[in-house]
C-alpha cells in the first residue's frame, strides 16, 4: 500500500511539472551578442545572451535597422550590449529594432 501511495504521488508530481502554459516569447531583450550567423555583410541571425539564457534572433527582411548589420560582429567581439524589440513569427524570434546600449 505504501509503495502504491509513493508511486501515485510521484505520478502527480511529474504531471504537475509537465503541464501549464507554455512560456511566452519576450518582446524586448537586452544582452550580449555571443554569435552572428551569416557570411560577410549577409547577416541572417544572431544569438543574444541574457543572464544564463540564450536566444536565437533572426534578422527580418522587411525591417530597415538603420545601420550595416556587420556592426553586430563588433558587438560580439567587444562584448558590447544591445537592446532589441522582438516579434515572434511562426515560433521564431525576429528583431524589429537593434540598438546600442550605453555602458
Give 63-91 pLDDT, tens digit per residue.
Answer: 999 999 999 999 999 999 999 999 999 99
Q: How far apart are CA 89 and CA 95, in angstroms?
A: 10
pLDDT at 22: 59
- What is the set of domains in the chain, with CATH numbers? 25-100 (2.40.50.140)
pLDDT tens digits along 31-65: 999 999 999 889 999 999 999 999 999 999 999 99
Q: How far apart are CA 34 and CA 2, in angstroms?
A: 51
What is the pTM for the complete model shown? 0.77
pLDDT at 26: 94
Look up residue 37 and give its three cell numbers.
550567423
* DSSP 8-state assignment for residue 51: T
Distance from first CA to last CA of the chain, Å, rounded? 62
Q: How far apart are CA 98 and CA 59, in angstroms?
A: 10
Amino acid at each position: 500500500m505504501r509503495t502504491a501511495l509513493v508511486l501515485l504521488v510521484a505520478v502527480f508530481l511529474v504531471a504537475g511539472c509537465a503541464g501549464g502554459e507554455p512560456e511566452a516569447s519576450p518582446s524586448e531583450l537586452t544582452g550580449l551578442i555571443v554569435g552572428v550567423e551569416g557570411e560577410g555583410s549577409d547577416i541572417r541571425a544572431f544569438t543574444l545572451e541574457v543572464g544564463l539564457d540564450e536566444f536565437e534572433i533572426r534578422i527580418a527582411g522587411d525591417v530597415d535597422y538603420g545601420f550595416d548589420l556587420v556592426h553586430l560582429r563588433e558587438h560580439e567581439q567587444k562584448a558590447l550590449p544591445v537592446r532589441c524589440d522582438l516579434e515572434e513569427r511562426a515560433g521564431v524570434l525576429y528583431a524589429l529594432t537593434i540598438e546600442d546600449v550605453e555602458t
